[in-house]
Amino acid sequence: MVATATKYGIVSGHGNNKFAPMDKITREEAMQIILNASKLTPFKGVEKAVDIKAFSDYNTRSQWAAEAVDFNINNGLIVGSGNKINLKANITRGKAATIILRLLQKANLVGSKSISQKP
């Protein structure tokens, strides 16, 4: 699966021929993966009037993640907690799955019902 995700540009390594697929990832790294995956869907994003700079840790984002952070926040794929996005915190598998589901719903690739309510 990692090779396929790499082939489609969803994920990339850390450089120096190192991929580290078992490493934990941060929320901003997850945002980059989600942005990359969104390019394979019909969903191109919306211009949402979110004051992204209202998050107290917005300026802690890495330069390479700036577009991904803006995309995920503006499209409601990732929401902050209070006034923080917690960009440098690790993301859980459950939260990552929720974000992926939100992307698939916005792209109209899955319904809006929860997975446990399949017809």
pLDDT at 72: 94
Read off the amino acid at residue 48. Answer: K
Cβ atoms of 8 and 40 within 8 Å: the answer is yes
Beta-carbon-side half-sphere exposure of residue 53 (alpha carbons within 13 Å): 0
pLDDT digits (tens, 9 = 90+) for 91-111: 998 999 999 999 999 999 998
Q: Which residue has the higher pLDDT, 45 or 15?
A: 45
Beta-carbon-side half-sphere exposure of residue 106 (alpha carbons within 13 Å): 24
pLDDT at 116: 44
Instruction: Provide, rounded to the nearest whole percent, the portion of the chain with pLDDT above 70.
Output: 92
pLDDT at 113: 60
pLDDT digits (tens, 9 = 90+) for 12-32: 877 776 777 788 999 999 999
